[in-house]
Chains A and B, each alone.
Chain A
Amino acid sequence: MTKMLDDYALLSPLRYTNNWLKIGVVGFGILMGISSQAPLVPFSIAICMSLATLIFGRVPPKFYLKLLMGPAVFVVFSIIIIAFFFGGGPELFGFNVLDYHLGVNTGGLSMAFLVFSRTLGGMCCLFFLALTTPMVELFSVLKKTGLPDSFIELSMMMYRYIFVFLDVAWCIKHAQTVRLGYHDLKTSLHSMAMLCSTLFLRSWEQGEKTFVAMNARCYDGKMMIFEEKRPVNFSEVALSLTYMVAIVGVWYVSNGMLEVSFW
């Protein structure tokens, strides 16, 4: 079994930090990053959040980089396109492809740079949340936001059984592989179809079994209780506030400078 994002979050030292504080810090980072016209702000956010993830969250740097590489591929493609097709101003360099002129100008380049920094900042914020706050902690947050109980309960059970079925799927896959179920395309398709249909039947059966198990424990429409004792300590608040003040400072200085340069 591979280790998933949620596994890192479950074992994270920041797991028991107050969820609202974490969500606040992340939300703040995303808003500041998007509202800033200068790439410096999202860049500093990205650096701060990455450091927080790596140092406080003790995520292995190698894994973290690998995680960032996934979306990075898409980002690189989009900024190349933005750089070539958007913006105005003096052209920096250009070339002709089949009588069609392609060129990068200053406006396009700075826009590409801004988009890249914003995406990076947003990604680092979201990865911080994903790597320090497991689903099981988010359920109590969902509960506080006033979503309907049945919605939360269903998602809790779905979360639980995702792992059960993942296990089942792996077992079936192994059983098929050892009997050469994936040795060419045709058998692979066939085996995959069998796996899916078996999994569907299993989940159906599991639903019935779970219903029996819940009834056997006097199910009365009430599902779980939520632990909400996640005290915020002074150093966490102080650190978060320092971070926020610093980012706001950077925002004003860099965006102010932009305005000055526009004048």
Chain B
Amino acid sequence: MVILETRGLKYSYPDGTHAVKGVDIKLRKGKRIAFVGKNGSGKSTLFLLLNGTLKPAEGRIFYDGKELAYDQASLREIRKNVGIVFQNSDDQVFAPTVYQDVAFGPVNLGYSKADIEKKVDGTLEYFGLSGLKDKPPHHLSGGQKKRVAIAGIVAMNPQAIILDEPLANLDPVGADELLDVLHELNHMGTSLIISTHDVDLAYSWADYVFFMVDGEVIGEGTPDEVFQDDELLRQAHLKRPVTFDIYKEIERRGLAHGNRQPRTVPEIVDTLKPPELMWVEVPPETREGDILNLGVLHGEYALQCPYEAVNARVLHIHEGGWAIVELTRHGIKAGGILIYDMDRFDPADFDGFLEKENIDIVGAMGKKSKLMAEKNSLCVDISTGVIDRTILMALCGKRCMILTSGGMIPHSMQRINEYIDRSGIALNVTVVNGH
């Protein structure tokens, strides 16, 4: 399903600058989309066109298959559905208090007073801003202001949110928290569109990437495809992502499996295995490049550990259903990841629980959980990059627990399960205090 589409979109500023020169794009629903390009490549202008703030000189925009008209009612409709978060929060947060700013959208959408209150209080709590609701914006930090700006948009329940340079001017922890929030919003079904010149962010975060240069889209595709294309990167004045660079270097030295696109640190670690080739019998529909799960081996077939999960990548198909496969072995250890729902947090029981479950490492994800952990003086070992780092710890045989809540629970389950599927390592993941 395409949520936004443009055909031949052109726009010039009154001073004659051609900011957008004929852009044809299709943005799919529920995806995380990144527009990557250096400063002044027309990303911001394109964004203002997408929610009807600017009117294109030529070309058309379609929202949900319907062409965007520029009368009041249609503009209102598109602006309700496509929220935009500006790069500078001071441009966006204009009310004297946080509460009033978040309420601005719902008030203008004409909700009833009770609905507004419910919506605003819910959104503030979700963003960990409840304690700041009566503060004026000039008493907030940059990261807090950014969260207020996003909360103001989320309170309107948009289908898609456009964020212009969302991580600009944020400290690393603030950026990480914001990414958690964005992941969760996306998990709940909101399409996200960001602009950035940070290739590492686009590579690790996005599902789909557009490269923009001088008001034109010069390339698009999944991050795995576009960031491999050195010529494209050169044209776009961009560099390779760091994780990809590291992987390429170790691959060139023969220390990693070839043809992978590791996006995160656990994925790089996962590529670090000497290749091992083997003849196996494969089902007839198997093709070269497929991954087969050979299950758990033990006894004389397990080389490094008592039990090993073995995955095989098909390199070559031979006659008679036989194929040469490259094996990846992973020792199965006692490591595991538990997810703790902070909405059901029980302070009396918590320490006993850690003892009973034999937890080595505790991570907290999401602003709300972090604040709760701090309030209850829980000892948190990991608070940034939580999922990646718990996976790494679990791979080393540690028992980890992630404190989180709400939509981040299925989101983290999904990300860990994706890792399990891709790597073939059976980590044990459970929500410990769920239903």
Cα separation A10 to B139 with both chains bound (whole Å): 9
Contact A225–B113 (Cβ < 8 Å)? yes
B215 in contact (CB, < 8 A): no
Known A-B contacts A159-B96, A217-B108, A218-B156; the reply to A225 vs B136 at CB < 8 A is no
Give the residue name and chain of the A residue nearest to B110 (CB).
A220
In the complex, what's the smallest C-beta–C-beta distance from B211 to chain A, in angstroms?
A: 25
In the complex, what's the smallest C-beta–C-beta distance from B102 to chain A, in angstroms?
A: 10
Report A-chain residues with C-beta under 8 Å of the C-beta of B94. Answer: 157, 160-161, 210, 213-214
Contact A160–B83 (Cβ < 8 Å)? no
Contact A212–B48 (Cβ < 8 Å)? yes
Contact A213–B109 (Cβ < 8 Å)? no
**Residues 212 to 263 of chain A near chain B (Cβ within 8 Å):** 212-220, 222-227
In the complex, what's the smallest C-beta–C-beta distance from A211 to chain B, in angstroms?
A: 10
A175 in contact (CB, < 8 A): no
In the complex, what's the smallest C-beta–C-beta distance from B86 to chain A, in angstroms?
A: 6
Cα separation A222 to B104 with both chains bound (whole Å): 8
**Residues 1 to 23 of chain A near chain B (Cβ within 8 Å):** 7, 10, 15-16
Cα separation A164 to B89 with both chains bound (whole Å): 11
Cα separation A220 to B93 with both chains bound (whole Å): 17
In the complex, what's the smallest C-beta–C-beta distance from B367 to chain A, in angstroms?
A: 22
Cα separation A206 to B83 with both chains bound (whole Å): 20
In the complex, what's the smallest C-beta–C-beta distance from A116 to chain B, in angstroms?
A: 36
**Residues 71 to 129 of chain A near chain B (Cβ within 8 Å):** none
In the complex, what's the smallest C-beta–C-beta distance from A166 to chain B, in angstroms?
A: 8
Contact A225–B51 (Cβ < 8 Å)? no
B116 in contact (CB, < 8 A): yes
**Residues 129 to 143 of chain A near chain B (Cβ within 8 Å):** 134-136, 139
Interface string of B70-99 (1 = CB under 8 A from A): 000000100110011010101111111101
Known A-B contacts A209-B91, A213-B94; the reply to A222 vs B138 at CB < 8 A is no
In the complex, what's the smallest C-beta–C-beta distance from A12 to chain B, in angstroms?
A: 12
Give the residue name and chain of the A residue nearest to B152 (CB).
A217
Contact B96–A216 (Cβ < 8 Å)? no
Contact B96–A135 (Cβ < 8 Å)? yes
Give the residue name and chain of the A residue nearest to B91 (CB).
A209
Contact of A215 among B53, B134, B135, B138 (CB under 8 A): B53
Report B-chain residues with C-beta under 8 Å of the C-beta of A7. Answer: 139
Contact B96–A217 (Cβ < 8 Å)? no
In the complex, what's the smallest C-beta–C-beta distance from B394 to chain A, in angstroms?
A: 42
Report B-chain residues with C-beta under 8 Å of the C-beta of A63. Answer: none
In the complex, what's the smallest C-beta–C-beta distance from A161 to chain B, in angstroms?
A: 7
Question: What interface size band does chain A fall in?
Answer: 20 to 34
- Main secondary structure on chain B at its contact with chain A? helix
Known A-B contacts A216-B53, A216-B84; the reply to A225 vs B103 at CB < 8 A is yes
A151 in contact (CB, < 8 A): no
**Residues 347 to 383 of chain B near chain A (Cβ within 8 Å):** none
**Residues 129 to 183 of chain B near chain A (Cβ within 8 Å):** 134-139, 152-153, 156
Report B-chain residues with C-beta under 8 Å of the C-beta of A212. Answer: 48, 53, 91
Give the residue name and chain of the A residue nearest to B92 (CB).
A213
Give the residue name and chain of the B residue nearest to A166 (CB).
B138
Known A-B contacts A10-B139, A136-B96, A210-B91; the reply to A222 vs B53 at CB < 8 A is no
Cα separation A160 to B138 with both chains bound (whole Å): 8
Cα separation A10 to B83 with both chains bound (whole Å): 31
Report B-chain residues with C-beta under 8 Å of the C-beta of A167. Answer: 138
A169 in contact (CB, < 8 A): no
In the complex, what's the smallest C-beta–C-beta distance from A16 to chain B, in angstroms?
A: 8
Interface string of B206-237 (1 = CB under 8 A from A): 00000000000000000000000000000000
Report A-chain residues with C-beta under 8 Å of the C-beta of B84. Answer: 216
Contact of B76 among A136, A213, A218, A223 (CB under 8 A): A218
A163 in contact (CB, < 8 A): yes
Contact A160–B136 (Cβ < 8 Å)? yes
Report B-chain residues with C-beta under 8 Å of the C-beta of A164. Answer: 90, 138
Contact B91–A225 (Cβ < 8 Å)? no
Report A-chain residues with C-beta under 8 Å of the C-beta of B105. Answer: 217-218
Give the residue name and chain of the B residue nearest to A213 (CB).
B92
B45 in contact (CB, < 8 A): no
Contact A156–B96 (Cβ < 8 Å)? yes
B384 in contact (CB, < 8 A): no
Contact A224–B104 (Cβ < 8 Å)? yes
Contact of B104 among A136, A159, A217, A226 (CB under 8 A): A217
Cα separation A167 to B136 with both chains bound (whole Å): 14
Contact B86–A213 (Cβ < 8 Å)? yes
Report B-chain residues with C-beta under 8 Å of the C-beta of A160. Answer: 93-96, 136-138
Contact B79–A215 (Cβ < 8 Å)? yes
Contact A225–B116 (Cβ < 8 Å)? yes
In the complex, what's the smallest C-beta–C-beta distance from A207 to chain B, in angstroms?
A: 10
In the complex, what's the smallest C-beta–C-beta distance from A14 to chain B, in angstroms?
A: 13
Among B88, B92, B135: residue with most chain A CB under 10 A: B92
Contact A224–B80 (Cβ < 8 Å)? no
B280 in contact (CB, < 8 A): no
Contact A163–B79 (Cβ < 8 Å)? no
In the complex, what's the smallest C-beta–C-beta distance from A148 to chain B, in angstroms?
A: 18
Contact A163–B136 (Cβ < 8 Å)? yes
Contact A224–B135 (Cβ < 8 Å)? no
Contact B86–A136 (Cβ < 8 Å)? no
Contact B83–A216 (Cβ < 8 Å)? yes
B315 in contact (CB, < 8 A): no
Give the residue name and chain of the A residue nearest to B117 (CB).
A225
Contact of B138 among A163, A218, A219, A227 (CB under 8 A): A163
Give the residue name and chain of the B residue nearest to A161 (CB).
B94
Contact A227–B91 (Cβ < 8 Å)? no
Other A-B pairs, 6, CB within 8 Å; known A217-B108, A218-B109, A223-B95: A10-B135, A217-B83, A217-B152, A220-B76, A224-B95, A227-B134
16 contacts between A and B (CB under 8 A): A10-B139, A136-B96, A136-B134, A156-B95, A160-B95, A160-B137, A210-B94, A213-B91, A213-B92, A214-B104, A215-B53, A215-B79, A216-B53, A217-B105, A218-B80, A225-B103
> Which residues in A have some Cβ–Cβ distance to B below 8 Å?
7, 10, 15-16, 134-136, 139, 156-157, 159-161, 163-164, 167, 206, 209-210, 212-220, 222-227
Shortest beta-carbon contacts, A-B, top 9 = A163-B138, A224-B100, A220-B108, A209-B91, A136-B96, A217-B105, A218-B108, A213-B92, A216-B84
